Amino acid sequence: MSTIPYKIYLEESEMPKAWYNVRGDMKKKPAPILNPATLKPVTLDELSGIFCRELAEQELDDTSRFIEIPEEIRNFYRMYRPSPLVRAYCLEEKLQTPAHIYYKFEGNNTSGSHKLNSAIAQAYYAKKQGLKGVTTETGAGQWGTALSMACSYFDLDCQVYMVKVSYEQKPFRREVMRTYGAKVTPSPSMETEVGRRINAEFPGTTGSLGCAISEAVEAATSQEGYRYVLGSVLSQVLLHQSVIGLETKAALDKYGIKADMIIGCAGGGSNLGGLISPFAGEILRGEANYEIIAVEPASCPSLTRGKYAYDFCDTGKVCPLAKMYTLGSGFIPSANHAGGLRYHGMSSVVSELYDQGILTARSVEQTSVFEAAEMFARVEGILPAPESSHAIRVAIDEALKCKETGEEKNIVFGLTGTGYFDMVAYQKYNDGEMTDYVPSDEELQKSFAKLPKVD
């Protein structure tokens, strides 16, 4: 019998007191974000019109290695953190693998995912700046729920533009947000100029994250005392999410476990970036080595098939441009795609780390993802979010490889959240009606052709 418990909980006193900014350890920094009007690096003043001042500062800070977590945020973290690092004894048994599998479980809070880690930080800085409220977009609904919870805690108004297809498929997500006092609008709506324009251009569209972002930015910049907040992609979000990786590393260190492999699902990159940050930092500083794998859906393969180029972060082209692995800001994953992770681009920090070879990437098809999800749910007792299940898929694949080779690798993956509000996707899978889709090269080339020209 091993002495490693099923769930490793840090003490509250062992929780991180500062976020880790991996950019501080990167010799080659991610390319600067550009003002869409001038195509010049955006200034702090320009960025402060969209984001809260302190968040704009964090966005542009690529030198500080650590940024203190304000006490108010640490107190909120204590309501649902530290999150457990779980030893997947039952999954190992089921797979009959010599590998040791660990997962960092971020789903034990009502938002159901890791998104709350950044939501509370962004709400805090908005409150501190004396704002009335914030606007945002949400796709699957995890980010919108997290932000609603955070705003309710700090008594801020919260306006959420929810991708229309999710708004209709996930009425209960909407109700959770309403219970936390948020105003939820299906996107594209008729409430913003950009929404009306998109509705006119694509009648009957069920929306996309890119559209919803444009609407939320417009709503923020056209109301006095409001700012826009975003749940992924941004460097500030990765900074806040570093709490995941810091706790993971502290828990592993506490038990003298050296990770061989770290696996995370990748949509915009917030969970992956947060999870891997401290490990990537060790690689960058030449202190250790890890195999880091980003897992993305085959139907939205920004890292494995995208271009590393400057692109718009939103469909309406109102946000700064970022250099990132991208499928083009007009790319919308096939309607049969049920598994989240549908953003066209990838965090510029993750993109640059990937370009430098600090991590590798793999794409997986959704039926195999739901197979892995079902197996995991049955043996580990947690019904995972479709997003998280991308990481489960690859963790299982790697554990099975260890079975063949006899290697006792320590595999660590991020279980970003639960699937309780994704039962429409599970139903499709249970009914045998789930299919796979991989975009053709032609489809991607057509999308790449619309990338902005930036020198």
Binding site for a second copy (CB under 8 A): 5-7, 9, 11-12, 75-76, 78-80, 89-90, 108-110, 112, 116, 149, 152-153, 171-172, 175-176, 178-181, 374, 377-383, 418, 420-421, 423-424, 426-427, 430
Residue 83 Cβ vs a second copy, minimum distance, rounded to whole Å: 11
Which secondary-structure segment (H or E) carries 100?
Answer: strand 100-105
Give the residue among 94, 116, 95 at the shortest CA–CA distance from 107. Answer: 116
Q: How many CA atoms within 13 Å lie on the side-chain side of 393?
A: 24
Residue 309 Cβ vs a second copy, minimum distance, rounded to whole Å: 40
Helix (H, G, I), strand (E, B) or coil at 291: strand
Angle at Cα 227 formed by Cα 222 and Cα 230, nearest 5°? 120
Cβ contacts of 175 within 8 Å, gap of 6 or more:
none
SS3 readout for 104-156: EECCCCCCCECCHHHHHHHHHHHHHCCCCEEEEEECCCHHHHHHHHHHHHHCC
Q: How far apart are CA 154 and CA 442, in angstroms?
A: 48
Angle at Cα 181 formed by Cα 180 and Cα 184, nearest 5°? 105
Q: Which is nearer to a second copy, 18 or 423 (CB)?
A: 423
Residue 214 Cβ vs a second copy, minimum distance, rounded to whole Å: 28
Residue 238 Cβ vs a second copy, minimum distance, rounded to whole Å: 23
Q: Which is nearer to a second copy, 177 or 322 (CB)?
A: 177
Residue 88 Cβ vs a second copy, minimum distance, rounded to whole Å: 10
Q: Which is nearer to a second copy, 116 or 265 (CB)?
A: 116
Give the residue among 407, 422, 443 at the shortest CA–CA distance from 369. Answer: 422
Q: Which two tokens stand for residue 309?
A: 């180029």
Tell me the residue type at 430: N
Helix (H, G, I), strand (E, B) or coil at 251: helix
Q: Which is nearer to a second copy, 2 or 440 (CB)?
A: 2
Q: How far apart are CA 254 and CA 248, in angstroms?
A: 10
Q: Which is nearer to a second copy, 4 or 444 (CB)?
A: 4
Residue 297 Cβ vs a second copy, minimum distance, rounded to whole Å: 20
Q: Which is nearer to a second copy, 165 or 423 (CB)?
A: 423
Residue 85 Cβ vs a second copy, minimum distance, rounded to whole Å: 13
Cβ contacts of 146 within 8 Å, gap of 6 or more:
111, 113, 115, 116, 118, 119, 120, 231
Q: Which is nearer to a second copy, 13 or 440 (CB)?
A: 13
Q: Which is nearer to a second copy, 154 or 448 (CB)?
A: 154
Residue 187 Cβ vs a second copy, minimum distance, rounded to whole Å: 20
Q: Is the peptide bond before 439 cis (omega within 30 degrees of 0)?
A: no
Q: Which is nearer to a second copy, 109 or 363 (CB)?
A: 109
Q: Which is nearer to a second copy, 112 or 320 (CB)?
A: 112
Q: Which is nearer to a second copy, 341 or 385 (CB)?
A: 385
Residue 137 Cβ vs a second copy, minimum distance, rounded to whole Å: 21
Torsion of CA 441, 446, 452, 453, to 10 degrees: 80
Cβ contacts of 405 within 8 Å, gap of 6 or more:
none
Q: Is 105 left (phi over 0), alpha (psi -120 to 50) or beta?
A: beta
Residue 230 Cβ vs a second copy, minimum distance, rounded to whole Å: 21
Interhelix angle 209-221/193-201, nearest 10 degrees: 150
Residue 11 Cβ vs a second copy, minimum distance, rounded to whole Å: 8
